[in-house]
């Protein structure tokens, strides 16, 4: 009978922790979809023009069938992109002033070296009273390297909005603390060395529990993982 700390037992624990994490929903993507659904509801006809800025795979395209929807992205990361209408840097979008009613920009601002220049460009391409719907991480691992430059506090968002000609209409947490904790527990369960096998299983259990809790309820204690922000062109 192998002991609790034998190599085989450790491997079994690590296997258990990855099984516990398998097939879980991603609460951030769930909440982003809710956010994008609200953005889409701002428009009522094809006269309403939307730019998905930094669209990547354009995961929310299907929500915008009732309006005119375009994508922009620089297409530089080694990944698959959706068909892009504008291949450009977000500091220089090749459209005239006042082209769009709404700019959607989810999980992009952390990747641009100069977010102020990007917000100024959004302001330029938006019609008067047009809105920018944005989200970005506050607490998240580096990703899409080397294009990862910032994490934003709510105060950074307010300051950037004021500097670029926007009024803040909303700044809230994208997901609640259960989502933040689920994310951190998942990282521990996946990355602690194998000798921490018992903790890996416990963290996987915590990640599982917190993921389901986040899907049920957004609780604003602790700290956020992402902020969601709605700005209006002043």
Ligand X SMILES: C[S@@+](CC[C@H](N)C(=O)[O-])C[C@H]1O[C@@H](n2cnc3c(N)ncnc32)[C@H](O)[C@@H]1O
77 near ligand X, judged by CB under 6 A: yes
117 near ligand X, judged by CB under 6 A: no
74 near ligand X, judged by CB under 6 A: yes
For ligand X, the closer of residues 18 and 92 by Cβ is 92
- Give the number of other Cβ atoms within 10 Å of residue 215's Cβ: 18
For ligand X, the closer of residues 118 and 204 by Cβ is 118
Q: What six digits make up the tokens of 42?
A: 């701002």
Q: How far is CA 132 from CA 1, 21, 140, 234, in A?
A: 62, 35, 22, 11
Pick the stretch among 62-70, 94-102, 103-111, 170-178 that binds ligand X (CB under 6 A).
Answer: 103-111
Per-residue contact string for residues 146-185; x = within reach of ligand X by CB under 6 A: -x--------------------------------------
230 near ligand X, judged by CB under 6 A: no
* Strands 68-73 vs 86-87: parallel, antiparallel or unpaired: parallel
Q: What six digits make up the tokens of 137?
A: 């991480």
Pick the stretch among 18-26, 107-115, 190-198, 218-226 that binds ligand X (CB under 6 A).
Answer: 107-115
Per-residue contact string for residues 1-40; x = within reach of ligand X by CB under 6 A: ----------------------------------------
Which of 14, 102, 108, 229 contacts ligand X by CB under 6 A? 108
Element (H, E) at 132: strand 126-137
C-alpha angle 210-216-220 in degrees, rounded to nearest 5: 70
Per-residue contact string for residues 33-62; x = within reach of ligand X by CB under 6 A: ---------------------xxx--x---
Query: Is the distance from CB of 232 to CB of 46 less than 8 angstroms?
Result: no
Total binding residues for ligand X by CB under 6 A? Answer: 17
Which residues make beta-bridge pairs with 100? Answer: 126
224 near ligand X, judged by CB under 6 A: no
Which of 70, 73, 101, 214 contacts ligand X by CB under 6 A? 73
The candidate with the shortest Cα–Cα distance to 197, out of 56, 9, 36, 71, is 9
Which of 49, 111, 200, 233 contacts ligand X by CB under 6 A? 111
Pick the stretch among 38-46, 72-80, 180-188, 217-225 that binds ligand X (CB under 6 A).
Answer: 72-80
Supply the DSSP symbol for 35.
Answer: H
Peptide bond into 50 cis (omega under 30): no
Q: What is the rounded CA–CA span in Å between residue 39 and residue 104?
A: 8
Which residues make beta-bridge pairs with 126? Answer: 100
How many CA atoms within 13 Å lie on the side-chain side of 55? 24
Task: Report the nearest approach of ligand X to the CB of residue 54 (Å).
Answer: 3
The candidate with the shortest Cα–Cα distance to 48, out of 62, 66, 71, 67, is 67
Task: Using CB under 6 A, list all residues that contact ligand X.
Answer: 54-56, 59, 73-74, 76-77, 89-90, 106-108, 111-112, 144, 147
């Amino acid at each position: 009978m192998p002991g609790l700390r034998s190599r085989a037992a450790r491997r079994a624990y690590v296997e258990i922790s990855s099984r516990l994490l398998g097939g879980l929903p991603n609460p951030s993507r769930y909440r982003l979809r809710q956010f994008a659904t609200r953005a889409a509801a701002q428009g009522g006809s094809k006269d309403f023009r939307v730019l998905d800025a930094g669209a990547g795979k354009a995961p929310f395209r299907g929500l915008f069938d009732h309006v005119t929807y375009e994508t922009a992205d620089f297409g530089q990361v080694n990944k698959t992109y959706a068909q892009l209408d504008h291949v450009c840097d977000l500091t220089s979008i090749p459209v005239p002033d006042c082209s769009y009613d709404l700019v959607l920009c989810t999980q992009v601002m952390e990747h641009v070296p100069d977010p102020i220049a990007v917000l100024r460009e959004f302001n330029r391409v938006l019609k008067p009273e047009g809105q920018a719907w944005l989200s970005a991480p506050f607490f998240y691992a580096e990703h899409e390297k080397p294009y990862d430059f910032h994490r934003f506090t709510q105060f950074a968002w307010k300051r950037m909005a004021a500097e670029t000609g926007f009024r803040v209409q909303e700044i809230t947490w994208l997901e609640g603390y259960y989502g933040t904790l689920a994310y951190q527990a998942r990282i521990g369960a996946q990355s602690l060395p194998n000798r921490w096998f018992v903790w890996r299983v416990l963290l996987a259990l915590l990640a599982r529990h917190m993921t389901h809790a986040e899907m049920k309820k957004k609780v604003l204690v602790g700290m956020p993982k992402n902020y969601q922000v709605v700005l209006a062109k002043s």
